[in-house]
Amino acid sequence: MPLTLREMRQNCSDARDLMKRARAEKFAVGAFNLDNQETLKAVVAAAQAKKSPLMVELSKGEVDALGLDNIRDMVDNYKVSHGVEMYINLDHSPTVADAIAGIEAGFEFIHIDISQARHDASEEEIIAETRQIVEYAKLTGALVESEPHYFGGSSNVHKENIDYEEIKKTFSTPEGSLAFVEATGIDTYAAAVGNLHGKYPVPKVLDLELLQRLRDTLECNISLHGGSGTPEHYFVSAAKIGVSKININSDMRVAFRNTLEKVLDENPDEFAVIKLMDEVIAAVQVVVETKIDAFGSAGKAQVRN
């Protein structure tokens, strides 16, 4: 059932309060990709067990498969039934129209990512379209996230090593980041400090000194995309520096698929796959709980009655 505008505004106000708490108390909020109801169950179970606030997030492919209003209803149903603090992030929204649809569906966090969708978009185009969403988001109070650069990688398992000399060309700079934030008015800046989407044969390496300089320069929230495959000590440091949001996707998908393949192999005569999903859900839950511990968000949930 669609939310009223009043309910959307209250949820967005709660989300803004969460970001303030994260900054003040030096923890990061996990944003965990939602592929299906089983993934949602795993995330909710982790949030409940750890008493942690979190986001579930979906990019366009997942939105097209599940539907904006269906996602909103599913998340709200689980919030109520399990008593968790949980919000929805529209991740890598490729167009102004897609981002507006997320705002109107009551998503509390909106990531408008023009550079990901159009690699050749100029900074002027990115700024102009991001500003449109910042203005439209005033309807509900949704928090808007963006960046002026293209993130490398993809939410998959990669066989190639990481070419850091190439990746460094897209690193954020304090001066460029500040200029972009001031030009757009965004709530959250997606920093590039060695993070990139997907899992790789080697661990990711984050430039924490650069991250600290970005934190010293920017007043807004800072997020890290591409958290999968990152040694957890980087998350601990990032949260202490003042990163407010960290995205996790591929680590969850690997756990899901590997465990699903295992239980299917072990049960060749069972065709009611739903009966085999408990172990899959538990495996994804372990991933989420491990990230929550590294982010420092355990015990930080505040559930509004």
Q: How many DSSP H helices and E strands does the chain contain?
A: 13, 10
In sequence order, what E strands does 135-292 have?
A: 143-146, 153-157, 188-191, 197-199, 221-224, 245-248
Q: Which of 93, 76, 82, 179 is nearest to 133 (CA)?
A: 93
Cβ count near 274 (within 10 Å): 8
**For residue 52, what are the domain limits?**
5-295
Residue 163 included in any domain:
yes
Residue 300 included in any domain:
no
Residue 303 included in any domain:
no
The per-residue pLDDT string of the chain (305 residues; one tens digit each, 9 = 90 and over) reads 789 999 999 999 999 999 999 999 999 999 999 999 999 999 999 999 999 999 999 999 999 999 999 999 999 999 999 999 999 999 999 999 999 999 999 999 999 999 877 888 999 999 999 999 999 999 999 999 999 876 666 666 766 676 777 777 888 999 999 999 999 999 999 999 988 876 676 678 899 999 999 999 999 999 999 888 899 999 999 999 999 999 999 999 999 999 999 999 999 999 999 999 999 999 999 999 999 999 999 999 998 76
Total domains in the fold of the chain: 1
Instruction: Identify the helix (H) or strand (E) that includes residue 92.
Output: strand 86-93
Q: Which pLDDT score is estimated for 118?
A: 86
CATH number, domain of 284, equals 3.20.20.70
pLDDT (tens digit per residue) in 37-75: 999 999 999 999 999 999 999 999 999 999 999 999 999
Residue 184 included in any domain:
yes
Which of the residues 35, 91, 113, 278 is marked catalytic?
91
Q: Which pLDDT score is estimated for 156?
A: 65
CA distance 288 to 248: 8
Q: Which pLDDT score is estimated for 202?
A: 63
Residue 25 included in any domain:
yes
3-state secondary structure of 244: coil
Residue 206 included in any domain:
yes
Residue 31 included in any domain:
yes
Q: Active-site residue 251, yes or no?
A: no
pLDDT (tens digit per residue) in 212-241: 999 999 999 999 998 888 999 999 999 999
CA distance 242 to 63: 30
Torsion of CA 176, 181, 186, 189, to 10 degrees: 40
Beta bridge partners of residue 55, listed in sequence order: 31, 87
Residue 302 included in any domain:
no
Q: Which pLDDT score is estimated for 305?
A: 67
